[in-house]
Amino acid sequence: MEKLQQQLIKIRNLLNNTFFKILLFLIVGVCLYGAMYTNVKPEKLNLSLFSVAEKTIRSPITVEDRESTEKKRREALDSVKDVYILKKEYTQNQVDLMTSIFDSVSEVNEEAAQQTNEQAETGAAGQNEDTVSKDEKLSMLKTRLTEKVTKDISDQNLLVLIEAQPSELAIAKDLTVTAINNVMNQRISADDVENAKKRVEEELRFTSLGTALKNAVISLGRFAVIQNEFYDPAGTEEVRQQAIDDVEPVRILEGQILAEEGQLINRDIYKQLELVGLLDSDKSIQPFIGLALLILIILSGMYFIFHESEFQNETKQNYLLIFSSIIILSIALMKILSFFQELEYSEIGYIFPAALGAMLIKILIGERLAIFQIIILAICGTIIFNEGVTGTLNMTVGIYMLISGIAAVLFLSKQSQRTKILQAGLFVSGVNLLVITALLFLRNGHYSGLEYGFHLVAALVSGISAAVLAIGLLPFFEAGFGILSTMKLIELSNPNHPLLRKILTEAPGTYHHSVMVANLAESACEAIGANGLLARVGCYYHDIGKTKRPQFFIENQMNIENPHDRLPPQTSKNIIIAHATDGAEMLRKHRMPREIIDIAEQHHGTTLLKFFLHKAKQSGLEITEKDFRYPGPKAKTKESAVIGIADSVEAAVRSMARPTTEQIESLVRNIIADRLQDGQLSDCDITLRELETVAFTLCETLKGIFHSRIEYPESTTKQKVKQA
């Protein structure tokens, strides 16, 4: 494992070079392309017209059959009849025309009678009574009628109307208008005009009018009947267009069966096979271009996320390697499972442990990259698990993977213990069951009990196998990449850990001191956005070196004499300083994470042991200040810097009898100022603003620890003691 870790460190260092970083992205891209290549490669069938299909053939794409669509449109147009409109106003016009003719006849007769009366009144006695002649009446009538009427209605018929009695004329008028109205209210096309005229004639022929008058009104009725139904080009075109629009395009759907196994390839099937590209697939490069573009989008998103991340450079390269490794591992597992599709296990995609990568990345890196990895796998899953139909997308499997992975991330979002991984797997299995049930119901298909059983088992296997694999792979990633995960920190904080039990049993005062420092450091680190859990766990182990000589440290000197009183200052100095290096060495032997070892080494930095320096000077020894400093190194991280400050603050406050709020604040700020002036914070990226926040947080935490206690009166206290 150490050799593997060394190799990974070398690779990580290479990623500082842009060329090798691009090379890593290319490797990921090639792996993705290679895994999905066969799933998008168009399938070429060696089929000829009137041959027999050796297997069931499905359409790889959805495409419109334009020829069939045009055929349906032509049939729809042929079935459309021309549109004719009925001119209802023509009926009223012709009725009004007949009415005006009869009214004109009545007016002429009345005018002629008036003229005769006038002549009779003014005429000489014994002379014959003057009358208006027929010809004059006819002439008067024609002046009142239109040219078309006078042309189409004979003079003889007009004279019959003129000579008719008023009562007969009124009856003739009513009969004629009624007949015309009845016939003209019906549709009369150009070809049906003569038939309409005959209907008017038939209706007027069986009336009680005289023969001459009957013939006259029949002539008028035939004249009045005209065409009232006309071709409407705009309406016809609108109906034709509506018929075209109502025709749905004929589509060959993705996954549609084009030919069953053993079916004869007739001309229609052959045309469909050609249309979907199964006969000349060698010429098609579009699927490969589409796959390349899709992978380019994925890699671009991957680059953007890591480029914009706030990780330190070394951590960023490490996370990039982890993310790439998990992506490649997941895609490889997915591709292996997809081979079972060829054995008629078309639903094998539901067994894939989609939550595996999400769990690993959530634990090792964080939620943001875990969700991004889920999206990548869901996209790839829709292509790889396409049920043997090249070029298609299995959206149901993609949805299933997406929800499964997100469920794992949500469950682990507030869980930091390794034991919770198995619970997360069970939770994911439950979610998988719900998702598969929903997807099966959405399909509205008919499934047997065996098929339902397979899907339910697949859901359980997917979730549980993801948890089991995550538990098995997590130690390799943590050890190989040197990752100190949240779960690892939780495990290290367990009081049953051998080193913590060693501190508790051999140096109980140091253990209590470490716990107090952990409380201070954790709250301060969280206040400035540093890793509070790492600070807490680091505090538990930062003084592990004191277990080598616990009695030489004041917190462990319970009811014993201080051994430093009998030792020269140089010896005392060496013992005190050694606890940092001894602790780091002990942690290395127990293969503790590098971050914990660094905290043990760096929490004192190169600070000065002022007490023993002053004691040595009082003894008259020739010494230098450098001899009484810790060997370092200085704090490299915010966590180490805060722990160093909290360590000094806790020890100093504990030595005070009854610290007040003002004394605590003064002490904390003096210690921080001393560290700044001594250059102990010059190697880490903590800012003055963050140090101010640290000071405030430490003061608030210390006030809670050393809060004022109620003091009982002496008599009351003694009484309580006696009663006890």
* 651's tokens: 């020890």
Spatial contact of 36 and 384, defined as CB atoms under 8 Å apart: yes
Residues, the chain, total? 724
Q: What is the pLDDT of residue 29?
A: 94
**pLDDT of residue 3 exceeding 60:** yes
* 552's tokens: 């030489």
User: What average pLDDT does range 471-488 have in this prediction?
Assistant: 80
User: 251 phi and psi, to 5 degrees?
Assistant: -120, 145
Residue type, 649: V
Average pLDDT across the chain, whole number: 84
Helix (H) or strand (E) holding 258: strand 257-259
**Band (280; pLDDT cuts 50, 70, 90):** low
Collapse the DSSP code of 63 into the 3-class scheme (helix H, G, I; strand E, B; otherwise coil) and give the result. Answer: strand
User: What average pLDDT does range 549-575 have in this prediction?
Assistant: 85
Cα 74 to Cα 489: distance, rounded to the nearest angstrom: 75
Cα 582 to Cα 597: distance, rounded to the nearest angstrom: 11
* 700's tokens: 């608030």
Maximum average pLDDT range among 277-281, 390-394, 633-637: 633-637
Is cis: bond before 631, omega within 30 of 0? no
User: What average pLDDT does range 312-321 have in this prediction?
Assistant: 81
Candidates 571, 582, 577, 573; CA nearest to 541 is 582
Higher pLDDT, 32 or 287: 32
Residues 340-375: tens digit of each pLDDT: 876 666 678 899 999 999 999 998 888 899 999 999
Q: What is the pLDDT of residue 123?
A: 59
Handedness of CA 176, 179, 182, 185 (dihedral sign): negative
252 bridge partner residues: 63
Spatial contact of 507 and 544, defined as CB atoms under 8 Å apart: no
**pLDDT of residue 555 exceeding 90:** no
Torsion of CA 62, 68, 74, 80, to 10 degrees: -70
**At a CB cut-off of 8 Å and minimum separation 6, what does 599 contact?**
538, 539, 541, 542, 639, 640, 643
Cα 377 to Cα 361: distance, rounded to the nearest angstrom: 13
**At a CB cut-off of 8 Å and minimum separation 6, what does 59 contact?**
252, 253, 254, 255, 256, 258, 272, 276, 389
CA angle centred on 650, ends 645 and 653, rounded to 5°: 120
**pLDDT of residue 1 exceeding 90:** no
Q: What is the pLDDT of residue 343?
A: 63
* 96's tokens: 């009004």
**pLDDT of residue 58 exceeding 50:** yes
Burial (CB < 10 A; 0-12, 13-18, 19+), residue 339, is exposed
Q: Within 603-687, where are the H helices? A: 610-618, 638-654, 661-677
**pLDDT of residue 399 exceeding 90:** yes
CB atoms within 10 A of CB 592: 20
Spatial contact of 60 and 276, defined as CB atoms under 8 Å apart: yes
CB atoms within 10 A of CB 333: 16
**Band (467; pLDDT cuts 50, 70, 90):** very high
**At a CB cut-off of 8 Å and minimum separation 6, what does 180 contact?**
91, 94, 95, 98, 200, 221, 224, 225
Cα 485 to Cα 710: distance, rounded to the nearest angstrom: 43
Q: What is the 3-state secondary structure (H, E, C) of 125-167?
A: CCCCCCCCCHHHHHHHHHHHCCHHHHHHCCHHHHHHHHHCCHH
Higher pLDDT, 202 or 484: 202
**pLDDT of residue 124 exceeding 60:** no
Q: Give residue limits of the domains in the chain.
A: 2-41+284-455+465-488, 84-120+131-231, 497-705
**Band (721; pLDDT cuts 50, 70, 90):** very low
Burial (CB < 10 A; 0-12, 13-18, 19+), residue 721, is exposed
User: What average pLDDT does range 412-419 have in this prediction?
Assistant: 65
Candidates 502, 499, 514; CA nearest to 555 is 514
Q: What is the pLDDT of residue 695?
A: 95
* 271's tokens: 């045309």
Cα 616 to Cα 622: distance, rounded to the nearest angstrom: 8
Residues 228-265: tens digit of each pLDDT: 888 888 888 888 888 888 888 888 776 678 887 778 88
Cα 633 to Cα 599: distance, rounded to the nearest angstrom: 10
Q: What is the pLDDT of residue 724?
A: 32
CATH fit for domain 497-705, picks 1.20.950, 1.10.10, 1.10.3210, 3.30.200: 1.10.3210
* 442's tokens: 């959405």
Q: What is the pLDDT of residue 387?
A: 67
Cα 523 to Cα 530: distance, rounded to the nearest angstrom: 10
Cα 462 to Cα 425: distance, rounded to the nearest angstrom: 8
Collapse the DSSP code of 263 into the 3-class scheme (helix H, G, I; strand E, B; otherwise coil) and give the result. Answer: coil
608 bridge partner residues: 629
Cα 382 to Cα 391: distance, rounded to the nearest angstrom: 10
Q: CA 37: distance to chain centroid?
A: 25
Residues 205-227: tens digit of each pLDDT: 888 888 888 888 888 888 888 89
Residue with tokens 């390269």: 317
Maximum average pLDDT range among 379-388, 446-455, 536-545: 536-545
Among residues of the chain, what percentage have pLDDT more than 70? 90
Spatial contact of 499 and 604, defined as CB atoms under 8 Å apart: no
**pLDDT of residue 151 exceeding 90:** no
Q: What is the pLDDT of residue 688?
A: 93
User: What average pLDDT does range 85-95 have in this prediction?
Assistant: 88
Q: What is the pLDDT of residue 2?
A: 55
